Amino acid sequence: MASQPRWRHLTLLVLILLLFTAAPFVVAHQHGIIVMNVISTGVLVAGSYALSERRHVFIVAIVLSALSVIGTSLLVAFPETWALLVSHVLILLVLGFFCVTILSYVLRRGRVSFDKIFAAICVYMLMGYGWSFVYSILVELEPNALAATSEIGLHDFVGRLLQLRYFSFTTLTTVGYGDIVPHSALARTLTVLEAVMGQFYLVVLVGRLVGLHIVHETAASR
């Protein structure tokens, strides 16, 4: 059974991509926030399901996911700074947990399956997504940390998060269009850390997957 391909991480990847692509089209509508929260909950469920092979890891994932849902509900009910900080910290905890545990599966010895490739992409997407919440917390505590050509309303948390998600992925991929730039010393430090993390992830990941593939093919040919 272990040698058969699994598709758990494909479901997670599809929901992550849906979360990203649907946001610009639904947030402006009356019930757009509810739709996004439903998709986000789906990402948490899919992420937890992807870790369900290990019971203790699955339980931790469920607990952290539930806490992040509660934190998001607090932010919807009380759109204030304290609620945003609580919500974003909880989301960072669950995203960080997903990244570490899924990456441990990707780097595990064994055949390089399609599911492992999907899992590796999931980790990369979750990394960029997680950093957007780091920047959101930074901007909330230090409003002038980032300078952008387009201004977002002070209490437009969703619009700002979409803008910071865009900034996060342009930083992670080292594209850097220049329409949003780090202004404070802490913001510059964080962007450097994210850029280095993104590059090291790709280098280490490709090297590990190629090595695993060579080892598996060599063992199979004997």
* Span 123-148, pLDDT tens digits: 999 999 999 999 999 999 998 899 88
pLDDT at 71 over 90: yes
Residue 150 makes CB contacts below 8 A (sequence gap 6+) with 163, 179
pLDDT of 17-29, one tens digit each? 999 999 888 877 7
Which residues have C-beta within 8 Å of that of residue 6, sequence separation ≥ 6? 113, 115
| Per-residue pLDDT reduced to its tens digit, 139-182 | 999 988 998 888 776 667 788 889 999 999 999 999 988 889 99
| Domain spans of the chain, in order of start | 8-221
Instruction: Decide: 46 and 15 in contact? Cβ < 8 Å.
Output: yes
Mean pLDDT score across all residues of the chain? 87
Q: How confident is the model at residue 115 (pLDDT cuts 50, 70, 90)?
A: confident
Q: Which residues contact 59 (CB under 8 A, 6 or more apart)?
A: none
Structure tokens at 44: 């948490």
| Domain made up of 8-221: CATH architecture | Orthogonal Bundle (1.10)
Tell me the two tokens of residue 75: 């932010």
Of the pLDDT bands very low, low, confident and very high (cuts 50, 70, 90), residue 6 is low
Task: Please give the pLDDT value at position 136.
Answer: 93
pLDDT in tens, 185-215: 999 999 999 999 999 988 888 887 777 666 6
Rounded Cα distance, 103 and 108, in Å? 8
